Amino acid sequence: MSFFMYEIDEIGPERVFEVYDQKTGMHGVAVVDNTARGLGKGGIRMVPDLTTSEVMGLARAMTWKNAMADIPFGGAKSGIKADPRALSPEQKEAVVRAFAKKLAEIMPKHYIAGPDMNMTEREMAYIADELQDPMVTTGKPTQMGGLPHELGSTGYGVALCTKVAVEFKGESLEGKTVAIEGYGNVGTFAHQFLEEWGAKVIAASDSKGTIYNPEGLKHAELMKTKQEQRTVTAHTGEKKEGKDLFELDVDILIPGARPDVITTGNVENVKAKYVAEAANLPAKYEIEQILMKKGVVVLPDFVANAGGVISSYCETMGWNADTMFKVVTDKVAANTKVMMERAQEDNDTRKAAMGIARERVEDAMGFRGWK
């Protein structure tokens, strides 16, 4: 069904806001997709090419992600159309505060924000301060009662999802080889926990390329290189191009940076038995299907990287980091297992996870009398 300039269906969206502030030049969009399971939850990004349709798609993705994570949040997303590189720190603060002020009528009554692209705990602090309410956003600094994603909840969840899937298949992580695309917050914590559980990371990449060492890359040592040299490629090992990482002979591949990195051009050369999607949309569904038909276990993004949003839920409850990691453990393990069980017949893990998420949303809509 068409509604003005965008599409709606039986799920949503419930609210679409486009806001503008003349003084700062701020132009922003917020979409609350579905609140059957709870308040709309999703991050705020700042990118120069933001569109309303993009934010709508991201809000719908959050509806499914939060439902699959089995937390009492609905789906939402927002964004500011601006190039952060062209803004001074003072200008960025002014723009963020202007955006928060424009959304005061829906935060946190209908929408709880969080960090996303080019938006960190600092910007979340500005938002909470501007609206004088700590509940309007998660991902705040610990000094403001927050559980910032810098604690590693997302990377931990990726590692745990992988571990549960491997063990579901009757195997062990011990000795499994791993390649990680993206060595930022998520990749580094995934490396740390996979190493603790016996896996061996033999390749990692960042924007400068890939470092490969079949003898293994120790987490502490690679972190030290990254911090001191600003790139993993300065570490001991063979330097390769970034794209080479996806075709390495490893047991587990973790695409954790850019979208659409596994394509028709390289999918047949993927040798990994498990692909854990730490990044959002690293492969289109039709590409995932090629992998799944080859017997590869694909751990979809909205299952594998749900640790961050589960952490956000814990922050709204006022829980500490120890409790947060316990909740992430319980939720990620249970949801990965139920997905793997449903996918046994055709190995289509994304279809299985989407089915579970939709059922959870529709059940909540039914209880509310919405359908």
Q: Write the pLDDT tens digit of every residue in 189-198.
A: 999 999 999 9
Query: Can you list the domains of the chain with their CATH numbers?
Result: 2-63+73-145 (3.40.50.10860), 153-359 (3.40.50.720)
Transcribe 267-290 into DSSP letters.
GGG---SEEE--SS-SS-HHHHHH
Strands (E), 131-259: 177-181, 200-206, 209-212, 238-240, 252-255
Contact criterion met (CB below 8 Å) for 115 and 309: no
Residues 72-119 pLDDT 10s: 999 999 999 999 999 999 999 999 999 999 999 999 999 999 998 899
* Residue 92 annotated among the catalytic residues of the structure: no
Cα 288 to Cα 303: distance, rounded to the nearest angstrom: 14
Instruction: Evaluate the omega torsion of the peptide bond into residue 13 and state whether it is cis, within 30 degrees of 0.
Output: yes
Q: 111 CB contacts (<8 Å, ≥6 apart)?
A: 30, 32, 39, 40, 41, 42, 76, 78, 103
**Sign of the Cα pseudo-torsion (160, 202, 266, 292, in order):** negative
Q: What is the average pLDDT score of the chain?
A: 96
Residues 324-340 pLDDT 10s: 999 999 999 999 999 99
Band the pLDDT of 301: cuts 50, 70, 90: very high
Which pLDDT value is given to residue 2? Answer: 40
pTM (two decimals): 0.91
Band the pLDDT of 8: cuts 50, 70, 90: confident
Angle between helices 153-168 and 307-316 (to 10 degrees): 130
According to DSSP, the residues that pair with 16 across neighbouring strands are 31
Closest CA to 332 of 308, 364, 315, 361: 308
Cα 333 to Cα 41: distance, rounded to the nearest angstrom: 22
Residues 143-162 pLDDT 10s: 999 988 778 999 999 999 99
Which pLDDT value is given to residue 149? Answer: 76
Closest CA to 255 of 337, 178, 315: 178
Which pLDDT value is given to residue 150? Answer: 77
Among candidate residues 77, 92, 102, 226, the one labeled active-site is 77
For 44, which DSSP code?
E
